Amino acid sequence: AVVLAKEVYFPKIDSIKKIEMLGQTALAKISNNKKMNIEKNDFQLLASLLQKKVNYYPEVNLLIQRDIKKDVAAFGIAKSYELLNKKVLVVKLKNEKDQTSSAQQKWINYVNFEEKLENLIEVSEYNTKTLTVDYMDKMDTMPMNEVLFDRVLAELKQEFDVVLFTSDISNKYYTFVLSQLMQHTIYVASSKKTSINQADLDLKKLEQMNLEIIGMVLIQ
């Protein structure tokens, strides 16, 4: 009864029809369960939709996620661009204040001009190139800012046709900073956790940031 009440008063955005109710294009429904779903799903439709939405390259997209912990959407979208014969990089933004990782140390070295950005790029389990940006150290002395993003983008645009930045909607500061440098965004939501009302509020916020919303991806 409690579950039914939640669905009545806080309906989830769990179908293509509900995405269209919000006035958005449904780009894809992707399973969150197995790696195989990225490799075997047919992303031809998503690739076709992206081709219609994006007319020039290099293209920089902001993937705004709500209630999503994994990177399945980012790599699924990356695969779609690869079907268009585009060279793609997924940039994952992390903020690990409580630990010092090798990626974090490399990032700090890059910020201090002691490391080349190309040395930070790796190949993911989905066979897609990825850059992990650990943008804070324990003392919060390495915050990302617009100047630093400009520097990163200038370098990446020389090497890649498409750069996909991933950020959680709850990270308000960095979502805003990224929005000032990009024109397009793709909103990624969870069919099990994200309500229609919450998605509607998020989309309106993105529009207020003057971002053109290419469409939505639903993680099942």
Q: How far apart are CA 150 and CA 147, in angstroms?
A: 5
Nearest to 89 by CA among 172, 158, 185, 170: 158
Q: Tell me, what's the pLDDT at 5?
A: 43
Q: Tell me, what's the pLDDT at 144?
A: 62
User: Which residues have a Cβ under 8 Å from the Cβ of 208 and sit 6 or more positions away?
Assistant: none
Q: Tell me, what's the pLDDT at 196?
A: 92
Q: How far apart are CA 7 and CA 159, in angstroms?
A: 46
Q: What is the pTM of this model?
A: 0.80
Q: Tell me, what's the pLDDT at 129?
A: 92
- C-beta of residue 164 within 8 angstroms of C-beta of residue 78: yes
**Which segments of the chain have a pLDDT < 70?**
1-10, 32-45, 47-48, 53-55, 69, 94-101, 134-145
User: Which residues have a Cβ under 8 Å from the Cβ of 18 and sit 6 or more positions away?
Assistant: 11, 196
Q: How far apart are CA 73 and CA 32, in angstroms?
A: 8
Q: Tell me, what's the pLDDT at 169?
A: 78
Q: Tell me, what's the pLDDT at 155?
A: 92
